Amino acid sequence: MNDRLSAQMGFLLEADRLKSVLRATTLADGSRVENSGEHSWHLALYAMVLRDQAAPGVNIDRVMRMLILHDLVEIDVGDVPIHSANGAAHGSAEVLAAERAAADRIFGLLPPDLGSEFRALWEEFEAAESPDAVFAKSLDRVQPVMQNLASGGGTWVTYGVTADQLESRVGVKVARGAPTLWAWVQEKTTAWFAAR
């Protein structure tokens, strides 16, 4: 007999399904592909650990909240790997429309105040314009790079990615929110691609 709490708990039960959404990237040890739930946890930890890489004024608590929520729409849409379909599938109009419909349904499970707040955080992340969102996006893009480096190439091998494609699809976006971090990572990716 608590409609608000029932809606909150219903949302949390539905969210459990994100643990069954599989990504293209593997764990660092290559043992299996990663799911979007554990990926979101790892990103929140990235935010905590790498806060000194963010531009002044970035609010790390908001970044963490965005990262915890950012993939929930994948419960309906699935993960669209950034290097799949030669880089064309990710961010296509079709995928964006499906993600929007998923956001309507999933955030719509919550009491309206929480639903609007979470939806706004997700929209902000997707727009990638505010300093908090730009930094959150940098982390979301750099984590799979680190997993690929650790596992011996991962999705770069799967999708035949070149160093230039990595730079344009990933590097530019990491550098936008975390330039020093990308410089550090780039040294390692350059060496990896050079050794191919």
Residue 73 contacts residue 102 (beta carbons within 8 Å)? yes
> How deeply is 5 buried, as exposed, middle or buried, from its count of CB atoms within 10 A (0-12, 13-18, 19+)?
exposed
Residue listed under structure tokens 């390692």: 188
| 105 interface partner picked from Ca ion, a second copy, none, CB below 5 to 8 A per type | none
- Considering the rule CB under 8 A, would residue 58 count as an interface residue with a second copy? no
The maximal CA–CA distance of the chain, rounded, in angstroms, is: 63
| 20 interface partner picked from a second copy, Ca ion, none, CB below 5 to 8 A per type | a second copy
- Considering the rule CB under 8 A, would residue 37 count as an interface residue with a second copy? yes
- With CB under 5 A as the rule, give the number of residues binding Ca ion: 2
- With CB under 8 A as the rule, give the number of residues binding a second copy: 48
Residue listed under structure tokens 């000194």: 52
> How deeply is 14 buried, as exposed, middle or buried, from its count of CB atoms within 10 A (0-12, 13-18, 19+)?
middle
For a second copy, the binding residues (CB under 8 A) are 2, 4-6, 8-9, 11-13, 15-20, 27-29, 31, 34-35, 37-38, 40-42, 44-46, 48-50, 52-53, 61, 64-65, 68-69, 110, 114, 118, 146-147, 150, 180-181, 184
